[in-house]
Structure 1
Amino acid sequence: MRSTHLEKRSMLRVISPGFQTSVQDAGRFHFAHLGVSQSGAADPVAFRLGNRLVENQENTPSLEMTLLGGTFEFEEDRLIALTGADCGPTLGQQSIPMWTTIPIRAGQRLECRAMQEGARTYLSIQGGISVQKVMESAATHLQTGLGGWHGRAIQKGERLPLDGSFHPSAFRLQSVPNTLQRYLQERTKIKITRAPQTDLFPDSSLKVLTTASYVVSESSNRVGLRLTGKPIDREKKEELITEGISLGAIQVPADGQPILLFVEHPTAGGYPKIANVISADLCKVGQLKPRDEVHFQFVDVDEAIRLYRKQDRLLTDTPLQRELNF
């Protein structure tokens, strides 16, 4: 029954999946007590704007491509948008812009290449990828095999079902204004707040965290980013009693090399947490790739809230720019 049903739907054919391409939405919430972290789009801002460009609901499932993009063939006319890191996309032999609504015709191939100045690109398709929700979300949790497309990254030759349909008389070509793109591309510093165990670290360690530069290790992934640089000293070397961990927590293990926990982080752990990335800067973390430098800056909770509200207003209130062609 399932295969018959899928044959009748509009499909997206995977010619090449890229390095790691998965179905993601905004993530699943309220399941940390079951050991399931949020998952979802690593760059929630690029994900949200992509859906806005194709006039989807902002939590519509999209494809998240990491470091190297895929090649896809559309079996039906659609509108798409590519947001996040520039992947040098082409449609046929023609280059197409990022952050812009693009009409795709049946039979055309979209090719996305290696990411530039970032780690992840989002392919948002009018109507979205059609997958069943698990724990109230369509996001793929790669570490546990939950959700998304069979709980894993997509593979060569697969055909992904799409929701909705294309209405030529109703679509609008639009793009994200340059002013908003420049705001998103500012990644020089990642802002942090104090964490539950900040007081366990001497002032000298806090100074190291905010003055030294750290490099993203090759062993980083959606679970967390291992950072290498000047070690951070701990006043107490023993581990803590295991407790809950939040998205964006910065743990310091015994070797002093910080670990920035990300969207598929373990929900509990015993390493002390020196700081936590603010919500508004999680999109910056999602675009960090191996060998990128990271710099941290402490802000207080009031400033973190102000910055989050500012970002939300920009995403909600900034009008998209009308395009006549591309």
Structure 2
Amino acid sequence: MTLSILSAGPMLTIQDAGRFGLRHMGVSPAGPVDAAAMALANVLCGNDPGAAALEFSGPAGSFRADRPLRFAVTGSDCVIRIGDRLVLAGESHRLNPGEVLTVGAPREAVWAYLAFSGGITTPEVLGARATHLRSGLGGIGGRALRAADRLPLGEDLPDAPCLRPANALPGHHPLSDSGPIRLIAGPQDDYFSSEELARLTESEFTVTPQRDRMAMVLGGTTLSAARGHDIVSDGTVPGSVQVPGSGMPLVLLAESQTTGGYPKIGTIASVDLARLAQMPVGARFRFRLISRDEGEELLLARRARLRAVLADLVARPDSWMRSDYLLSCDLVGGFFDADEIMRPVMPRSGGGAA
């Protein structure tokens, strides 16, 4: 059971939840830039939220499967076609053997996700299937996917229904937030003067084109470290905000290095890191400082919101109008006996018009 890649965009990779517990050995987790969006794509297809799926920035490409399957695209609106037929992002659809699925570039975000029922089952490397491009780990040869690659798929339940969210989700994303990007000061905020720390929250930053899965460079405001821009290398995490000699902050993402020698003025709160990473080039935003405890509380609340959205998916109609979908709709309120609903009406005896 395989998925054939007929064409591939430049940033098409296999990602799962990521590999953890290896930072002390210099291995960062990789995994999705936007874990919530990938979780929604997987659950729409009946997979575990952390199953291996495809992440893309720019056009995803075109695909063909050798068995019937379900697929879903999340994280952004995209042009999605099965053959010549347009279908919607944010819900799952059926793809039959021989049909060609084509997925265009994200329209409202930078990173989007394409999941298939059964999940992608390439071999695990260091406990995960996630592709780490910088170190060449996971996926297929640790690289971006390309035409003629064939991806193994896991077992599927062929009669399982396609799903959609019970309520429309803005941007085909399970979570929607706005406002300043929340930031926790440190661990080297003491390298910066009080004036520079004030600029951190009083000034506006912009998203520059210098970005990939490892980091994104911010513009609009530069920062200067009074104690210098070099430190003895210490640990970094996704969300670390490093300030090099250029003064242009670097925000580390999923493929971040595990140590770094630039002072870290702050760390993006985990609740907001994906939101920042999804901002298009040229977007403007501000930071707001919060405490570590507040960041933890916000993250726990966000995880609860995500669980609620994933638990609230409902069956959507297929082109065949499957009985499991029809019976879930209560089409004629008060009647729940399918035989009673479908029983043909018998003509009245006696001949004349009814």
Work out whether 1:198 is the aligned partner of 2:189: yes
C-alpha contact (below 8 Å) 2:82/2:99 kept by paired residues: yes
Contiguous gaps of at least 5 residues in structure 2: 320-354
Which of 116, 129, 134 is 1:138 aligned to? 129
Gaps of 5+ in 1: 1-9
* Structure 1 match to 2:52: 61
- Of the three residues 234, 239, 251, the one matched with 1:260 is 251
Residues 1:165 and 2:160 are matched in the alignment: no
Q: Is the 8 A contact 2:238 2:253 kept in 1?
A: yes
Q: Which residue of 2 aligns with 1:305?
A: 296
Task: Return the match for 1:70 from 30, 53, 61.
Answer: 61
> Which structure ranks higher in relative contact order (CA pairs < 8 Å, sequence separation ≥ 6)?
1
Identity rate of aligned residues, in percent? 30
SS at match of 2:13: strand
Structure 1 residue aligned with 2:75: 84
Q: Does the 8 Å CA contact 1:77/1:166 hold for their aligned counterparts?
A: no
Structure 1: how far apart are the matches of 2:113 and 2:81?
15
* Change over 3 Å in CA distance of 1:185–1:88 after alignment to 2: farther
Distance 1:320 1:192 in 2: 32
- 2:221 counterpart (226, 230, 255): 230
Aligned to 1:3: none
- Structure 1 183/138 Cα, relative in aligned 2: closer, same or farther at 3 Å? closer
Superposed CA RMSD in Å reads 1.9
How do 1:1-326 residues align onto structure 2 when only pairs under 5 Å count? 10-168=1-159, 170-175=160-165, 177-178=167-168, 184-318=175-309, 319-325=312-318
Question: What is the TM-score of this pair, normalised by structure 1?
Answer: 0.91
Letter in 1 for 2:70: L
When structure 1 is superposed on structure 2, of 157-166 and 267-276 the one drifting more is 157-166
Other structure's SS at 1:205 match: helix
Which structure's CA Rg is the greater one? 2
AA aligned to 1:198 is: D
Residue 182 of structure 1 deviates from its aligned partner by 7.1
Q: Tell me the number of residue pairs that the alignment of Structure 1 and Structure 2 aligns.
A: 316
Does the 8 Å CA contact 1:101/1:175 hold for their aligned counterparts?
no
When residues 176 and 205 of structure 1 are mapped into structure 2, their CA distance, relative to the original with a 3 A threshold, is farther
Amino acid at match of 2:142: G
The 3-state SS of whatever aligns with 1:281 is helix
Contact 1:16 1:155 in 2 (8 A): yes
TM-score, normalised by the number of residues in structure 2:
0.84
Distance between the aligned counterparts of 2:167 and 2:201, measured in 1?
32
Partner-residue secondary structure (3-state), 1:324:
coil
For the residues of structure 2 that align with 1:236 and 1:83, how far apart are their CA atoms? 44
CA deviations on 1:87-122 (whole Å, 9 max, x unpaired) are: 221212222111101111111111111211111111
